[in-house]
Chains A and B, each alone.
Chain A
Amino acid sequence: MSILEVNSLKKSFGEVNVLDGVSFTVEKGDAIAVIGPSGSGKSTLLRCLIGLERADGGDIVINGKNLMQNGVYVNDRQMRDVCSCMGMVFQSFNLFPHMTVMDNLIAAPVSVRKEDKASAIARAEKLLADVELSDKANVYPSSLSGGQKQRVAIARALMMEPDILLFDEPTSSLDPQLTAEVLAVMKQLAEKRMTMIVVTHEMGFAREAANKVMFMGDKTILQMGSTEDIFERPSDPRIKEFIQSIL
């Protein structure tokens, strides 16, 4: 069974049609790079998957549970439950500015999952060590660099032990050096077979860490396949053009 199945997904904002029949499946352990021109609906797709945006039609099945069937969503409660197996990392980090790094990490486990505070702190310490930010546990996000903020955001998402982690341009607001440190963390996750869907303009990540690439354009998926397929054998002239433009 695939961990995520999307079938004929449709989404419009008013008159503007953004996604028109998007279908794909994600297998456990996949690291999928989603690329494509600006405005092609990459963010909207991720947001529909995790319930930040409501699609208008199609099916979404996550971990065998329906999120949407034939354009009809499950109720709010079930939606929460189905989406709870996913985490998301944003371009703008969205750390909670009034909480220390540690509190950012343990807030959701303690309040949402009712985890014991001491055990949440222990797990947070381990994750902070993984992203090399152990010394920052007690500072506020405002004193961190962009790269550090994003690593905290990744650690915060991992605290909820998601089955699938969504990234929407996690490095787009970072300069190259900080991008590298965030990509390193994401690569490690991919190596640990974390299931990830990553909207990115970083072809480095697409080539080195992802096992599949999804190319979006014109409201749908133009091609999805292995990294070599997309880069060496693009099926569509628009893909060829895009790849040339960014290399």
Chain B
Amino acid sequence: MFKDLLDIAILLTDGVKYTATLFVVTMIGSLPLGLLLTFMRTGKSRILRGITGFYVYIMRGTPLLLQLYFFYYGLPFIPGMRNVLVLDRFTAAMLAFVLNYAAYFCEIFRGGMISVDKGQYEAARVLGFSKGQTLGKIVLPQMLRVSLPSIANESITLVKDTALVTAIGVTEILYFAKATVNRQAVFTAYPVAAVFYLVMTFAITKLFDYLERRYSF
């Protein structure tokens, strides 16, 4: 029994590579992109504000699964892109995830930015800080700190969302679990896969707990 479980776990380990890479790439890509979108969304230019508002609306208003299909199956249908925009499965997955999560992070950061009191900008100004210094030294640290719990929440959602890419055939954990169930007719692959996800969410929870304590003020 125990040996069976271990065998399944070893099988699934092959998928961890993709799950973990997708998670890391999405975080590394979407956090800075989300921050950039926040600056555009809250900036002076009405055009940029409009564009980012629309972008966020599209990304949050449509299913991530649909976006995955779009980037994997849909792009080549764009006229003139037949041979140019053919992405391999995993690239399409990473692209869709980064673009999608950036929209969510944009809104989280925007919330954090709004929470910074206007008195902070005024204090910075009368002390002579430039606009850039005010943003970098006063506003950004506060807004990141305020955003931490929501980012933690979103990261855990991301761990689970990685399973969606099985739909376009990326061989991540769930893909192997399903294959194992189909092939060996043993249902236990699903609970084993669940444990994999739980381990990851546990680690992420702990990491963010630490960050929240480390940067409390």
Instruction: Please list the residues of chain A having a beta carbon within 8 angstroms of any beta carbon in chain B.
Output: 50-52, 80, 83-84, 86-88, 90, 92-99, 107-108, 111-113, 140-142, 156-157, 160
B117, B126, B133, B142: which contacts A88 (Cβ < 8 A)? B126
Note all chain B residues with C-beta closer than 8 A to A88: 122, 126
In angstroms, Cα B192 to Cα A241, docked, is 81
CB distance from A83 to the nearest CB of B (A): 7
Whether B10 is near chain A, meaning CB under 8 Å from some CB there, is no
- CB atoms of A96 and B128 under 8 A apart: no
B169 within 8 A of A: no
Measured between alpha carbons, how far is A24 from B217 in the docked complex, in Å? 43
Q: Which residues of B lie under 8 Å from residue A52 when comparing CB positions?
A: 122, 125-126
Of the residues A80, A96, A108, contact of B120 by C-beta under 8 Å: A96
Partner of B217, one of A50, A86, A140, A157: A140
Cα–Cα, bound, A92→B123 (Å): 10
A29, B137: Cα distance in complex, Å: 34
Please tell me if the beta carbons of A111 and B123 are within 8 angstroms of each other in the complex: no
CB of B127 within 8 Å of the partner chain: yes
Known contacts A107-B137, A112-B133, A140-B217: A94-B125 contact under CB 8 Å: no
**What separation, in Å, do the CA atoms of A95 and B123 have in the docked complex?**
8
Nearest opposing residue in chain B for A111, CB measure: B133
Residues of A within 8 A of B145 (CB): 98
Roughly how many angstroms separate A32 CA and B73 CA in the complex, as a whole number? 73
What distance in Å separates the Cβ of B131 from its nearest Cβ neighbour in chain A? 10
Main secondary structure of the interface of B (DSSP, over half): helix
Q: Contact check, A96 vs B123: say whether CB atoms are below 8 A apart.
A: yes
> Which A residues touch B126, using CB under 8 A?
50, 52, 83, 86-88, 157
What string of 1s and 0s marks CB contacts (under 8 Å) between B89-125 and chain A? 0000000000000000000000000000101101101
- B119, A80: Cβ atoms under 8 Å? no
- Residues B122 and A90 in contact, CB atoms below 8 Å apart: yes
Bound-complex Cα distance A49 to B55 (A): 41
| CB-based contact B125/A160 at 8 Å | no
Chain A nearest CB, measured from B165 CB (Å): 37
A96 vs B133: C-alpha distance in the bound complex, in angstroms? Answer: 13
Min CB–CB distance A91 → chain B (angstroms):
9
User: Within the assembled complex, what's the spacing in Å between the Cα atoms of A90 and B125?
Assistant: 13
B217 close to A160 (CB less than 8 A)? no
Q: Which residues does chain A contribute within 8 Å of B137, judged by CB atoms? A: 107, 111
CA distance A178 to B141 in the complex (A): 30
Contacts of B142 in A (CB 8 A): 96-98
Cβ of B129 within 8 Å of any chain A Cβ, yes or no, is yes
Name the residue of chain A whose CB is nearest to the CB of B133.
A111
Does B204 lie at the interface of the complex (its beta carbon under 8 Å from any beta carbon of A)? no
A139 → chain B closest CB, angstroms:
10
Residue pairs across A and B with Cβ atoms less than 8 A apart, 27 shown, are: A50-B126, A52-B122, A52-B125, A52-B126, A83-B126, A84-B128, A87-B126, A93-B119, A94-B117, A94-B122, A94-B123, A96-B138, A97-B142, A98-B142, A98-B145, A99-B217, A107-B127, A108-B127, A108-B129, A111-B129, A112-B130, A112-B133, A113-B128, A142-B217, A156-B127, A157-B127, A160-B127
Query: CB-CB < 8 A to A142: which residues of B?
Result: 217
A-side contacts of B122, CB under 8 Å: 52, 88, 90, 94
A94 and B120 form a contact (CB under 8 A): yes
Contact between B125 and A51, CB atoms less than 8 A apart: yes
Asked whether A160 and B128 contact (CB < 8 A) given A98-B217, A107-B137, the answer is: yes
Q: A52-B125, A108-B128, A140-B217 are in contact. List 10 more A-B contacts (CB 8 A).
A: A51-B125, A80-B128, A84-B128, A90-B123, A94-B122, A96-B120, A97-B217, A99-B217, A112-B133, A113-B128
Q: How far is the CA of A99 from the CA of B119 in the complex (A)?
A: 15
Q: What are the 5 closest A-B residue pairs judged by CB atoms, nearest first?
A: A94-B123, A108-B127, A94-B119, A112-B128, A88-B126
